[in-house]
Amino acid sequence: MKPLQALAEDLANGRTTSRALVDACLERIADPAGEGKRVFTHVDGEGARAQADFVDAQRKRGVAPSPYAGIPISIKDLFDVQGQVTRAGSTVLAKNAPATQDAPAVARLRAAGFVLIGRTNMTEFAYSGIGINPHYGTPLNAWDRKTGRVPGGSTSGGAISVTDGMAAAALGTDTGGSLRIPPAFNGLVGFKPTAKRVSLKGAVPLSFSLDSIGPIGRTVSCCAIVDSVISGEREGAPLPPAHPVKDLRLAVPQSFVLDDVEPAVMAAFEASLAALRKAGAVIDEIPLKELLELPKINAKGGFSAPEAYTWHRQLLEAQGDGYDPRVRVRIMKGTEQSAADYIELLAARRDLIARVAAVTAPYDALAMPTVAIVAPKLQELIDSDAAFTRANLLALRNTSVGNFLDQCAVSLPAHRAGEAPVGFMLMGAHGTDAKLLSIAGGVAGLLPAGQG
C-alpha cells in the first residue's frame, strides 16, 4: 500500500475510494496463505466498510474531515476502542466488558476520518521486544518468511499489518522500543515521541513513567502525519519540511550502544554514516560513558517491573496461570524493589537525564543502530529461554535508552535491497519531536534503503 500522502492525493483526485482501500486490506487479512490470522486479534470488517462508505459520501459532498479521511489504520490491541474488548494480547482480559469509549489517540484518528481496520496482535501486555505471543500466534517477519523470523515487539502485529498491506499505518506504543524494534526488523519507519506528549488514557499501561504512543509507517511522512493527528500538534498545518543534511550535527555514542552489534547491522550503520558525511553532515564520535551506568541503575527491573506489578498484582493473584510464563516472571520482578529502591531509581533517572543533556546539547540528534541484531529465528527463541533472554536484551538495549532519558526517537530503514532489514536510529532531546521528524525526513532519503 502507498504512503499516506500518496493515498490522500489518490482519494482527493478520485483515483481510488476509501471503500476500495478497505476492501483491499480486508482481502489481504483474510488470505489463508497470509499472516492476517496472526496479525489481528480482532478485525472489524463490517464497521470498517461502513466507515469507508460514510467517508466516501462525505468526500463527494466536499466535507471530508481531513485529507487522510478514509485511509485504513490498524490499532494495537492495548487501546480502548468503543464497543470492543481490550485484551492487550492476553487471554486473561478476554471476558472483560467492551470499552465504553475510544482512547483519546483512537478518537483523534477517528475524528480525522481514518478507518479503524482492526486490533493488532502484540506481545502479551507489551512486555518484550521480540513479539512472540503464545495465545494468538506470532506474525512472521516480512523478511525471510520461509525461515520464520520474529516480527519484533511489542507492536508486532502493527508492523506486519503495514508491511503486508493490511493497513496503511499502525498505532502503537513504546515503553522500551516497541515502536522502533518492529520497524527495524521489517524495513519500516517508527516514531517514539516524548513520553506523555500523546495522552496515555485508554491504553493498558506497562510503565507509566516510560510509556509513549506513536505511529509505524512506510515513510517518515507517514509517521509525521499520524503523529500530528494523535498529538493534536500542527493539526491542519503543513508537515514540517525535511531538515537539510548539510551541516547537520550528529553524535554517535561509543559506549554501550555499539557493544555486541552484529556485523550486518554495523555494516549498514557505517554505510549510513558515510552517506550522511558525504552529504555534508558533521558527525562526531563521543564517549558518552554515562550510558554505561544504565545496567546498574535498572538492575532490579527499572521502572517497568514495579509499575507493571502495581497494575497486574490483583490480576496475577486471580489468573496468574493464564499469563505467558515469560511475561509473568518479568512482571514478578517488580516484587524485588522496595519503596526506597524506587525512590533512588527516580533520583538516578533525573541525574542521568541532566548529565546526558549537558553533554549532547551541542548536537541536533544522536545516531546509533536501532537494534544490535537482525531479526532472530522464531523457533530458536521459542525453544530456548536463554536464547530468548539474550535476544530480548539486545533488541531492547539501544531503544530503551531514549525511554529512560525521556527523549524522542525515530528508526529509519538502513539496509540495501535484498539484505536483512536494519534500523538507523536518531534520538532527539526531550520535546524536540517536530524537529526530529524534520531531521529524519532529510536523513531517510540518503540512507541505503532510500525511504523518505
Per-residue model confidence as pLDDT tens digits over 145-185: 999 999 999 999 999 999 999 999 999 999 999 999 999 99
User: What global pTM score does this model have?
Assistant: 0.97
At 25, the amino acid letter reads C
Residue 451: predicted pLDDT: 57
Contact yes or no for 76/122 (Cβ under 8 A): yes
Contacts 24+ apart (CB under 8 A), 384-392: 385/326, 388/130, 388/132, 388/326, 391/130, 391/150, 392/128, 392/129, 392/130
Name residues of the chain where pLDDT drops below 70.
Answer: 234-238, 451-452
Distance CA 4, CA 446 (A): 21
Residue 250: predicted pLDDT: 98
Q: Output the nine-digit C-alpha cell for 287.
A: 564517549
Residue 238: predicted pLDDT: 65
Per-residue model confidence as pLDDT tens digits over 382-404: 999 999 999 999 999 999 999 99
Distance CA 324, CA 88 (A): 12
Residue 184: predicted pLDDT: 98
Residue 10: predicted pLDDT: 98
Contact yes or no for 73/169 (Cβ under 8 A): yes
CA 300 vs. chain centroid, Å, equals 25
Residue 240: predicted pLDDT: 75
Q: Output the nine-digit C-alpha cell for 21.
A: 482501500
Contact yes or no for 341/299 (Cβ under 8 A): no
Determine the CATH number of domain 4-231: 3.90.1300.10
Residue 239: predicted pLDDT: 74
Mean pLDDT of the chain: 96
Phi-psi region of 293 (alpha: psi -120 to 50; beta: other; left: phi over 0): alpha
Distance CA 193, CA 428 (A): 10
Query: What backbone torsions phi and psi does residue 426 show, to the nearest 5 degrees?
Result: -110, 135
Residue 233: predicted pLDDT: 82
All structural domains of the chain with their residue ranges: 4-231
Residue 236: predicted pLDDT: 55
Per-residue model confidence as pLDDT tens digits over 124-145: 999 999 999 999 999 999 999 9
The set of catalytic residues is 76, 154, 178
